[in-house]
Chain A
Amino acid sequence: MTEIRFSGFGGQGIIRCGLIAGKALALFDNKHTTMTQSFGPEARGSACSSQLVVSEDRVLYPYITKPEILVSMSQEAYEKYEPELREDGILIIDKDLVNTKPPRGKIKTYAVPSTRFAEELGNRIIANLVMMGFFTAVTKIGTPEAMKKALPGLVPERFLDLNIKAFDKGYEYGLHVLDEEKSH
């Protein structure tokens, strides 16, 4: 079983990240997933998060308690959720938006300039898809094919190609980061 938290600020598509990963793994990668979100009076700009439990069997307890993977796309979200990350967990951040403290325990940190890449592709709104590509590459939690297959219905149809491009960009960057890690 793997517990994942996606976090950032409202408007970045953080809930969408949980939905894409949850749908991809459950429908196309043969896993069981439960996606929950903090459902409150959150507004654009404030901290927001979605939670995903991934399991080989049916997910019984549906909430995360000690996540193995934390994705943070904002400083506020990082500070709020980093303390709950497992000591041997994986931390994934937007390089330009999050300043990390010195690493704790055996936590592995992976950083991607997702917002910058998205802007280079023409629209910062797809930063979450760059992040999803990167997340898929470094965590190997699912296949990139499944993630991309999950997109129709979750992103506007007319932007599907752009979203896939963003995903690929993040995924390639993730593979590159893993290569570098290996050669060190």
Chain B
Amino acid sequence: MKKVKADPKGVLTGAHYLDGDFALAEGALAAGCRFFGGYPITPSTETAERFSERIPRVGGIFIQMEDELGSIASLIGAVWGGKKAMTVTSGPGFSLMMENIGLACMMETPLVIANVQRGGPSTGLPTLTGQQDMMQAKFGSHGDYEIIALSPDSPQECFDLTIEAFNLSETYRVPTFIMTDECVGHMHEKVVIPPADEIELVERKWYTGPKEAYLPYKPDKDLVPFMIKAGDGYRFHTTGLTHDERGYPVINAECQKVNVTNIIEKIRKNADKIIKIEEDQIDGAEVVLISYGITSRVAVRAVRLAREAGIKVGTMRLITVWPFPEKRIKELAPKIKAFIIPEVNYGQMVREVERSAAGKTQVFGVPHCGGWVHNPEDILNVIKEAVK
């Protein structure tokens, strides 16, 4: 994995007062993203707007596509042409992208998709928040595959985690999602953008061997194959069909086993390296509250009230939501009375906690249908219930 410094051209070094949506675009530009294809949708439109203004000035391309099917397709093309590429969307647009997200996984195409979540299903609540696409990010396309997803809790993290998303995406040649939401997207806070030479980027794993020997899907030791740039004189074939190391379709169970195992295991085997979580007061905790994104900031108040009431509450914030930190949950489960998982959905990541805890402790969800964040009191009540 080759590391390089960011190109100063894309880095708006300094302190800014930005909303999360703008910070996503700035993070991408700092990470060297030079292609944006997208279709505007509330509440993610500001990101597209920022890209349209900024990316041409740093030598990149902005295309407003005909729809979200086209947006994600344009990214795949741009990446095979050698660019780093990103798009941004929300609920309905995310649904439309699903088929080609599977294509990107199958073609092992590194790209970044930000989903500024709003309340669903369907058109739902265009201007109001939700965290209801968390499972869709992992399972929305058909077939078996793995992806990476991160969840920022502030505009600063929108910036930081977009860079991280590009690095992970390039390292593992996998679509990487930034699962933010309307609240963080439209919240303004100070965002500090460091100097370019303090931003470390992962260089795409370029193939440099003899042209005739290039195999686009021959896994390296880390299971990630080398990439080339279309137009550089390499002959290659790529497809969404099950394929061999040459990238040619082979429609049988044996090849399927190799192909699918590779795209899954390159993430699962590296899960410990990928997963980032933030823990507080876990040692000696009676209960552990697990949250992500905006909800982790709302839960802070409930946790403080619970601690004031003498309850030992530990917290775990999922910065990486996929792959899910199942090992850590499994380890903690027998030591505590309960996990509590507030999220702005009817109960999604709570199922992963239940699965990982495997009956070793109680698991309480604190669901919310979307449109606004939790009332901290509602979370507090569940914490109290859990320690009874």
Contacts and interface: CB of A to CB of B under 8 A. Distances in A.
A111 B380 CA distance: 40
Task: Specify which of A22, A35, A61 lies most central, judged by the most chain B CB atoms within 10 Å of its CB.
Answer: A61
Interface string B290-327: 00001001101100000000000000000000000000
A51 to B, nearest CB: 10
B128 A61 contact: no
Contact of B188 (A19, A32, A41): A19
A26 B376 contact: no
A60 interface: yes
Given A19-B17, A27-B17, A36-B183, A59 B127 contact: no
A90 to B, nearest CB: 22
B17 A34 contact: no
A123 to B, nearest CB: 25
Nearest to B125: A40
A34 B187 contact: yes
A35 B187 contact: yes
B129 to A, nearest CB: 9
Given A27-B15, A36-B183, A39-B127, A61 B189 contact: no
Interface in B100-135: 127-128
B183, B188, B297, B300 — most chain A CB neighbours (10 Å): B188
Interface in A14-68: 18-19, 22-23, 26-27, 32-37, 39-41, 59-63
B43 A39 contact: yes
Interface residues of A, number: 21
Given A27-B15, A61-B297, A61-B301, A37 B186 contact: yes
> Per DSSP, are chain A's interface residues mostly helix, strand or loop, or mixed?
mixed
B54 to A, nearest CB: 14
Interface string B34-48: 000000000100000
A92 B301 CA distance: 28
Contacts of A35: 17, 187-189
Given A19-B17, A22-B17, A40-B127, A33 B190 contact: yes
Contacts of A27: 15-17, 190
Interface residues of B, number: 20
B300 A60 contact: yes
B186 A39 contact: yes
Nearest to A37: B186
B343 interface: no
B278 to A, nearest CB: 13
Given A34-B189, A35-B187, A62 B127 contact: no
Given A39-B43, A40-B128, A62 B17 contact: no
Contact of A26 (B43, B128, B189, B301): B189
A42 to B, nearest CB: 9
Interface of B: 15-17, 43, 127-128, 182-183, 186-190, 294, 297-298, 300-301, 373, 376
A-B CB proximity, top 10 nearest: A23-B17, A35-B188, A26-B190, A60-B300, A61-B301, A39-B127, A40-B127, A27-B15, A39-B186, A34-B189
7 contacts: A22-B189, A26-B15, A27-B17, A36-B187, A40-B128, A60-B301, A61-B376
Given A35-B189, A60-B300, 18 more contacts: A19-B17, A19-B188, A26-B190, A27-B15, A32-B189, A32-B190, A35-B187, A36-B186, A36-B187, A36-B188, A37-B186, A39-B127, A40-B128, A59-B189, A61-B298, A61-B376, A62-B294, A63-B373
